Every structure is written in structure tokens, then in C-alpha cells.
Amino acid sequence: MKKILLMGNPNVGKSAVFSRLTGVNVIASNYPGTTVEFTRGYMLIDGEKVEVIDVPGVYGLLAASRAEEVALNMLEEGDVILDIVDSTKLERNLNLTLQLIKTAKPMILVLNMWDEIKHMGIEINREKLEEILGLPAVAVCALTGEGIKALRSRIKEAAVSSFDGGGENEWGTIGEIIEKTQTLSHRHHTLMETLGDASVSPYTGIPIALLTGFVSFKIIRFIGEGLISYVFEPLFEKLWLPLIMKVSALIGANTLAGKIIVGELIDGNVDFIQSMGVLTTGLYVPLAMVLPYVFSFYLVLSFLEDSGYLPRLGILLDGFMHKIGLHGLAIIPMILGLGCNVPAALSTRILETRRERFIAATLMAIAVPCMAQIAMIVGLAGKFGAKALALIFGTLFIVWLVLGVLQNLIIKGDSPEIFVEIPPYRLPYFNALLKKVLMRIRWFLGEALPFVMLGVLAVNFLYALGVISFIGHISRPVITGIMGLPEEAAAALVVGFLRKDVAVGMLAPLGLSMKQLVITSVALTMYFPCMATFAVMIKELGWKDMLLSAAIMMVSTIFVAGILNIIL
């Protein structure tokens, strides 16, 4: 197996680079016959597994200490050297670089702490440095992960340097290199750079993340509720309702066609939520109740994406996400899931291992409600105040966390470290942002409208054929006994496979108590993904893993609903 050695002076960030390349599952060992400790791990390069060794820090190759002696012995065993250099102290670090060049081993120069030189007014001509040393030179910031992806892709370019070390006057040679490649100037942080640094520091990044989440939620609600109140509700009430009433009178309100197309009339009028007609509930739910929130969510999400915040959020949460077997970028499928579970399931492709994709997809499908479902839950449970909403979403977060920890403990395998390029903070280009939002809205409507109308149609036929009553009867021990719900809630669980938002809407006529509404909302989120998400998860995970994921969903749903029934 090929061995890659990470070498450099002490305190240049070798261990941080090592963690970025290999992940957190590493092995610490003592070198044979010594008490000098080193770390080793593994990574894949073009499908080949290679060993990565974090060599003890040294200033030279003279073996003046036990650590340097071990480093020399390791050097003989290594195939490729990654020479980690502190970019803010390039002159001092190049001393070891020139000594490593003399070993005639394939090398790459890794310019770490690249972000710091910008803050200190240092400018390094990386291309010129590559040309002089005859080595690939890659700029990285191991703290945030910037440049690590580029480093990983260029490892196969490691080369034996053709540079002439300059004879005995080594420091004179280093001075000449510095003069040709480095310039100094005085500058201060820009506001965006200061904010960028603060976003990835745990002490300031967590408050920034909480504030960002709070403001994002407020904006989503403000835009969504405004669109509902001033645009969509007036359109349906003043324009669509009179037309629907004429259609109902024309085909007959009590006929089968009338009940399917218009739905049940409530006190002689159409109730767009409860009527369950294809042209009433089937259009009102996705267009008037859900679309405004989906639009506002994707508007905020696109702004966060284009501004450069999401990669920083991934870096900030990386340590926490590893507790559930994922790296920081797995937060992106979770955030996408709040808009729609289907693109969230597709986005699990950014995760490197089958284990990570399974954990992420399962957690997303179980505990992350889509914006359509959230809108319906807020609309129904909101009448009970913040307490009901806190119980629903607080329970889902606890489920997400506990199931993640359990899967991380039970499912064998590694969780690789995060690889991400971090762009500078910038104000998004409005036209590009708007195009992205409109593209996602078109995709949502293409996916949502057919399934909502199909769901409403299916409900009417299932009721007419007595299927809903039959399912409610045979599932009574679970639904009424364990969950404490009325038998009629079985209809919502059946329809939830088609569309979760329609299923939540079906709870409105049942007159559920706050306790029952909390349990049903949690159960509908957890028990199974909608049909579109189910199809995508089969494609991404395969039948075997999807069936295992579905089993986890069903068992955890019954368990959590039973616990809520007892506690509440």
C-alpha cells in the first residue's frame, strides 16, 4: 500500500491537514522501539486506498532529537511527501523544504494558513514558487477546509524536484526565493473577511448561526403569510370560489362526480381545506397554502447559498455532525429537506460513503418535514399556540439526534472528513438568484401538483370503496391503542404516502385535541416518506437499504408516538 507522509515544522497545522484528508477515525501508534507517537489513517485516491502518516514535526533532517530520528526512518518508508508549510513564516519553513528536496522523493508543497497571509498583508506568488522549486504548490486553510479538495486532487501530481539547492549557502538561496515570490504590504480586514472568520469560529459562529436561523424563519413567515393574505386567498375567494360553485351546481353537489371534483360542501359552501375535491383542496393546498412558504424558503436558501454562508455552516457544524456519523456538509440535505425531501434525497450524493448516504437519507426522511408539511402543521397546530409547535418540532429534533447517534454506533464504517471549497462572502447577483428560485418553484409545482391531486382523488375513491374504514379497523390496536388517535386518522396515514401536506390537511375535520394533533403530526412526518421521495431513495440507496430504512421509520414512529401518548 502506498504511503503518504505529512512532514513539516512543529505547529504548522500538519494534524489539521491530516484530519481533513483522512477524517476522524485515525490510529495513534508509537513508532517501533520508541515512545514517539505518530498518527496514521487512510484515504482513497482514484479508488486506491492509501495510507497517510502524520510524521512528528521536525525543523531539519539532522536527527538532533528522538522525534527527528523517527521522522528520518519514516522518510525512508514513504512514497510521497506532503511538505506542510506555514505560509505566514515561509522563509523559516523553506529550510526543511530544501532538505526534503535533496531526498529525491516525490513531493507537494502545501501552503497552509493561506487565509492568514491575506490578513497580514503578505502576498505569495504560488505559481512562481511552483516554477522555482519544480514542485506542485497548493494553497490551503486546514482550519476551514479551503483548498483541501484541490490538494486531494493534485496528490497524483507529486513530483521529484529538479531544483538545485544552492550549495552550502542554503539560507542565501531561501532569501532569493523569498525575494522572487513574496511581497509585503499593510492592509486591514474588510468587513466581509471579519464576518467570514467569525462565521467558522465556535465562539462567534454558533451565535451567528442561531441569529441567521431566527432571521431566516422570520423572513420566510413574513413573505409566506403576506403572499397568502394579500395574493392567494383573495384570488381563490373572489375569483375561483364563484366559478367552483357554478361547477358544483352544474354537475350536482351530491353526485359522485361532484364529490370528486368539488368535494363535500360544508354548510352549502366550499371549504378549500376540508372539501377534499380535486379542484378545491387539490389546488388550494399546493398553491395557496404551500407555494407561498416554498417560494420564501427557496428565496432565503438561495441567498444563503450564493452569499457563501452554507459552506461555513458546514464547517462550523462538522464536529457536531460527526456525532451522528456524518460530516458538516450533510447539513445541506437536511436544510434542503425543509424545502422538499426529494432534492434533499438527491443531494445525499455529495456524501462519499454508502454508510453516510444511508444515515443522511434515513434521518432526513424520518425527522425533517418539508415546507409543504410545515405550512400545514403551522396552520393547524398554530391555533394551540407556540407550545404545540414546540412539542412537534422539538420532538422531531430529538428523534433526529437520537436516531443519528444510534445509527453511528450500530452501522459499521467510517465517516470521512469534510472536503469543501469556501468562497469569500459576497452579495448575491439578484438576477441569478431569482432564476434559481424560479427554477426550483417550477420543479416543485411539477412534482407537487400532480401528487396532491392524485392524493385527493385517491382519498375519494378509497372512502367510496370502504378501504379507509377497513385499514382503520385492522390498524386500530396501533392507531387507537398505542398512539391514542381516533380510527379516522388512518386515512391521513394512508394518504401521507402520496403527499404529507394533504395528509395533515385531512386532520382538520377530525377535531383533534392538542395532544392528538401533536402525535399525528409527528407520526406523519416520521412514518414513511411521500411517494416521490420514496422513489428517489430507492434509486439512491437501492432496495435493500431502502427496506432497512423503512423498517427503522416504522419502528421508531410507533415507539415515539407511544411515548408521546404516555407523556402528554
Q: Tens of pLDDT along 174-195?
A: 888 888 888 888 766 777 778 8
Residue type, 370: C
Task: Give 258-316 pLDDT, tens digit per residue.
Answer: 777 877 776 677 777 667 777 887 788 778 877 888 888 888 888 888 888 888 888 88
* Grid-cell match 499593510, residue found: 186
What pLDDT is stored for residue 49 in this prediction? 85
For helices 309-316 and 191-200, the axis angle rounded to 10 degrees is 30
Question: What percentage of residues in the chain have a pLDDT greater than 70?
Answer: 89
Q: What b/e string do you get for 139-156 counting C-beta neighbours within 10 Å, with b at 16 or more?
A: bbbbbbbbbbeebbeebe
Q: What domains can be seen in the chain, in order of their start residue? A: 3-188 (3.40.50.300), 197-567 (no CATH)
Kindly state the cell numbers that stand for 144. Answer: 476551514
**Sheet of 137-139, strand order:** 27-30, 37-45, 48-54, 3-8, 80-86, 107-112, 137-139
What pLDDT is stored for residue 31 in this prediction? 44
Kindly state the cell numbers that stand for 378. Answer: 403551522
Residue 69 has pLDDT above 80, yes or no: no
The pLDDT mean for the chain works out to: 81
What pLDDT is stored for residue 165 in this prediction? 62
Q: Hey, how many other C-beta atoms are within 10 angstroms of the C-beta on 114?
A: 21
Task: Please report the DSSP string for 475-510 in residue order.
Answer: THIIIIIIS---TTHHHHHHHTTT-HHHHHHTTGGG
Q: Name the least confident of 8-17, 75-84, 173-182, 454-463.
A: 454-463
Task: Give 341-388 pLDDT, tens digit per residue.
Answer: 777 787 787 777 888 889 999 999 899 888 778 877 887 787 788 888
pTM higher than 0.85? no
* Closest among 285, 313, 300, 282 to 221, alpha carbons compared: 300
Give, as one character, the DSSP assignment of residue 65.
Answer: S
Residue 82 has pLDDT above 90, yes or no: yes
Task: Give 208-241 pLDDT, tens digit per residue.
Answer: 988 998 898 889 888 988 998 899 989 988 888 8
Which residues on adjacent β-strands are paired with residue 40? 27, 53
What pLDDT is stored for residue 68 in this prediction? 73
What pLDDT is stored for residue 65 in this prediction? 63
- Greatest extent of the chain over all pairs of C-alpha atoms, in Å: 102
Q: Strand, helix or coil at 78?
A: coil
- What's the rounded mean pLDDT across residues 464-492? 76
Pick the most confident of 137-151, 186-200, 260-274, 467-481.
Answer: 137-151
What pLDDT is stored for residue 34 in this prediction? 40
* Closest among 88, 77, 94, 74 to 13, alpha carbons compared: 88
